[in-house]
Amino acid sequence: MMHHNPPTADRPRPTADHRRTATGHRPTADHQRTANGQRPTADHQRTANGQRPTAYTLGLLGHPLGHSLSPVLHRAALQAVGLEGEYRLYDVPPEAAERLIPQLLDDLRGGRLHGLNVTIPYKQQVTAWVEDLTDAARGCGAVNTLYAEAGRLVGHNTDAAGFWEDARRRLPLMEAPGWQVVLLGAGGAARAVAYAALRQGWPVHVLARRLEQARALAHHFRAQGRAQVFPHPWERRTDPAAPWFTGRLPVLLVNATPVGMHPHTQASPWPEVGPWPRGAAYDLVYNPRETRFVAAARRAGLPAADGLGMLVWQAALAFQRWTGIPAREVLPAMARAVGLDLREV
């Protein structure tokens, strides 16, 4: 997949007839209503001069981005609701971040970009470069969605809601009260999962290869008054004395690391030998659909799900932030675009 260069001031001017659908008709008013039935009025749908964008220029910031499905998802959403626009990849290596990322953020503030997603390795770093954080982004301590509102850069997080919406549908047993989460990994995606779980009142146990990273995650949430988050060394995963084996609560075991992702499909964050806790498993990795982690969990008798549904949900919720179009209106198109069964969303 080709990577686009960071945007410049001479970007081609988008066409004006952005409100027509593929059939040539203007979309109905329902496309312009939010989930509560009201027309969207958020400032972040307008450019710096107060006008709605004639076409949406969206993109993804991260590194590496070679196998990203985000362009497929957002182009499908734009087409489904009859909006002109494009979705670009901004692959910025860490050594160029201090030089290139501020340029992208200036384009957002100036209305030359209308929305950015953020992925590895910048979800936490970018929080220092925005003027405002939404409650979700502040709660997670990580940003995956950026937009401008009244000329100010806003960081938002749709990963937490995306995870929760998908996990509770794919693993219906989670609707029963009283779970604990064992979280493998302590990066930006892990923080979103922890935030979603803590909001349910579930205790969270965090295991990371670097114990200081797990401790930093725990400190972030404890500083917000969320005390039920506990760091553990990576080596304790299958310790029979660990609380996820000895406690009475069922366990949602979540892989929030990239371990097992294509092309390293033979790897798993959970030891092949050793016990599995009682409960369910969820892997944020979605390529391949059945990772070694998911396959082993199923063999051990645990219901298990991959992260493709979370990817679709977080994308639809970000699209809603940028355009005001409810996530539910673009979910079917996004799901079809990546081969996800509509019953899974």
Which tens digits make up the pLDDT trace of 92-136? 999 999 999 999 999 999 999 999 999 999 999 999 999 999 999
pLDDT above 70: percentage of residues in the chain? 85
Spatial distance between the Cα atoms of 240 and 238, rounded to a whole number of angstroms: 6
Residue 3 inside a domain? The answer is no
Catalytic residue selected from 31, 74, 88, 123: 123
Comparing 105-114, 168-177, 286-295, the range with the smallest average pLDDT is: 168-177
Q: Judge if 54 and 176 occupy the same domain.
A: no
Whether residues 320 and 295 fall in one domain: no
- Mean local confidence (pLDDT), 37-66: 69
**CATH number, position 83:** 3.40.50.10860
Say how far apart CA 284 and CA 282 lie, in whole Å: 7
264 and 198 in a common domain? yes
198 and 179 in contact (C-beta within 8 Å)? Answer: no
- What average pLDDT score do residues 20-41 get? 36
Q: Examine residue 120 and state whether it is found in any structural domain, yes or no.
A: yes
In a domain, 23, yes or no: no
| Whole-number pLDDT of residue 27 | 36
Please check whether residues 339 and 257 belong to one and the same domain: no
Whether 183 and 64 map to the same domain: the answer is no
Chain mean pLDDT for the chain: 87
What's the rounded Cα separation, in Å, for the pair 195 and 188?
11
Residues 274-300 have a mean pLDDT of 96
- CATH number, domain of 256, equals 3.40.50.720
* Count: domains in the chain: 2
Query: Do 332 and 261 have their domain in common?
Result: no
Q: Residue 30 pLDDT > 80, yes or no?
A: no
What is each CA distance from 340 to 286, 308, 332, in whole angstroms?
11, 8, 9
Domain presence at residue 88: yes
Predicted pLDDT of residue 314: 98
Q: Which residues of 68-104 are buried (b: 16+ CB within 10 A; e: fewer)?
A: bbbbebbbbbbbbbbbbbbbbbbbbeeeebeebbeeb
**132 token code pair:** 């405002």
In this structure, are 59 and 42 located in the same domain? yes
Are the C-beta atoms of 83 and 55 separated by less than 8 Å?
A: yes
Statement to judge: residues 34 and 142 lie in one domain: yes
Domain shared by 36 and 134, yes or no: yes
Range(s) of the domain holding residue 72: 29-158+310-344
The reply to whether 208 falls in a domain is yes
With respect to residue 145, please indicate whether it lies within any of the assigned structural domains.
yes
Give me the pLDDT at residue 19, please. 33
Please state whether beta strands 229-233 and 251-255 pair in parallel, antiparallel, or not at all (unpaired).
unpaired
Q: What is the dihedral of CA 176, 313, 92, 52, to 10 degrees?
A: -140
* Residue 25: Cβ-neighbour burial (10 angstroms; 0-12, 13-18, 19+): exposed
Helices 211-222, 188-199: axis angle to 10 degrees equals 40
Whether residue 3 contacts residue 65, with contact meaning beta carbons closer than 8 Å, is answered with yes
**Same domain for 177 and 293:** yes
Active site residue 19: no
- pTM for this structure? 0.85
Residues 37, 129, single domain; the answer is yes
The candidate with the shortest Cα–Cα distance to 248, out of 179, 189, 333, is 179
**Residue 301, exposed/middle/buried by CB under 10 A (0-12, 13-18, 19+)?**
exposed
Q: Are residues 152 and 183 in the same domain?
A: no
Evaluate whether residue 14 is within a structural domain: no
If DSSP codes are grouped into helix, strand and coil, which group holds residue 213?
Answer: helix
Cβ distance 54 to 14 under 8 Å?
Answer: yes
- Domain assignment present for 35: yes
